[in-house]
Amino acid sequence: MQKRLSLVLLCSALLSVLLSCGTATVPVNSIPVNGSAPVALTMTDDPPSGVSVLSFQVSLTGATLTPANGTGSAISLVGNPIQIDVTQLQALSAFLANENVPAGTYSSLSLTFANPQLVIFNTADTSLGSSCAVGSICTLTPAIDNSATVSFTSAPFPLAVSSSTPLGLLIDFHLNTVIQSDLSVNLGAANGISLSQTPATAAGQPPPFGFVTGTFLSMNASQNQFTMQTAWGKTLTVDVNSNTQLVDWPPCVAPGGLSCLTAGDAVQVQVAAVESDGSLLAASVKWLLVNQGQSVLGTVVGIVPLKLLVLASPSAAAGPAPPQGAMATVTLDNGATFAVDANGFTIPSGLVFSSTENLTFGQELQVEVDPGSWSCASSNSVPGPPPSCTFSTNSVQLEPSQISGTVSNISAPDFTLTYASYPACISTPGVSACPTYVALVQRVVDTTAQTVYQGFNPDSFSGLANNDVVSVNGWIFEDDNGLLDPAMTQPVVLVQDIRLHPGGTF
Instruction: Return the closest-CA partner of residue 140 out of 112, 182, 87.
Output: 182
pLDDT tens, residue by residue, 129-162: 677 777 777 888 888 887 899 999 998 999 888 8
What is residue 79's predicted lDDT score, i.e. its pLDDT? 82
Q: Are 191 and 178 in contact (CB under 8 A)?
A: no
Burial class (CB in 10 A: 0-12, 13-18, 19+), 260: middle
Residue 281 has pLDDT above 80, yes or no: yes
Domains, the chain: 4-197 (no CATH), 211-289 (2.40.50.320), 294-506 (2.40.50.140)
Other C-beta atoms within 10 Å of 390: how many? 15
What is residue 32's predicted lDDT score, i.e. its pLDDT? 39
Residue 12 has pLDDT above 60, yes or no: no
pLDDT band (50, 70, 90) for residue 386: confident
Instruction: Return the closest-CA partner of residue 150 out of 124, 183, 112.
Output: 112
What is residue 472's predicted lDDT score, i.e. its pLDDT? 92
Peptide bond into 413 cis (omega under 30): yes
Strands 167-173 and 36-43: parallel
Residue 269 to residue 244: CA distance in whole angstroms: 10
**φ, ψ (nearest 5 deg) of residue 228:** -140, 160
Residue 413 has pLDDT above 50, yes or no: yes
What is residue 425's predicted lDDT score, i.e. its pLDDT? 55
pLDDT tens, residue by residue, 31-51: 334 455 555 554 444 333 456
Q: 208 or 59: whose pLDDT is higher?
A: 59
What is residue 205's predicted lDDT score, i.e. its pLDDT? 64
Instruction: Return the closest-CA partner of residue 363 out of 373, 352, 374, 372.
Output: 352
Instruction: Return the closest-CA partner of residue 314 out of 211, 175, 209, 409.
Output: 211
Mean pLDDT of the chain: 77
pLDDT above 70 as % of the chain:
75
pLDDT tens, residue by residue, 322-365: 677 788 999 999 999 999 998 889 999 889 999 998 998 889 99
| DSSP string covering 425-459 | ----TTSPPPPPP-SEEEEEEE--TT-EEES-SSS
pLDDT tens, residue by residue, 213-255: 889 999 988 888 999 998 888 899 999 998 998 888 877 766 6
SS3 264: coil
How many whole angstroms from its chain centre is CA 7?
11
Per-residue DSSP letter, 318 = S
What is residue 428's predicted lDDT score, i.e. its pLDDT? 43
Residue 24 has pLDDT above 80, yes or no: no
Instruction: Return the closest-CA partner of residue 198 out of 190, 189, 187, 207.
Output: 207
| DSSP string covering 80-97 | S-EEEEGGG-SSS-EEEE
Q: Are 26 and 73 in contact (CB under 8 A)?
A: yes
What is residue 390's predicted lDDT score, i.e. its pLDDT? 92
What is residue 316's predicted lDDT score, i.e. its pLDDT? 56
What is residue 11's predicted lDDT score, i.e. its pLDDT? 27
Whole-structure pTM value: 0.76
pLDDT band (50, 70, 90) for residue 207: low
Q: 301 or 394: whose pLDDT is higher?
A: 394
Sign for the pseudo-dihedral over CA of 113, 117, 123, 124: positive
pLDDT tens, residue by residue, 283-321: 999 888 887 778 888 989 888 889 998 887 766 555 566
What is residue 50's predicted lDDT score, i.e. its pLDDT? 54
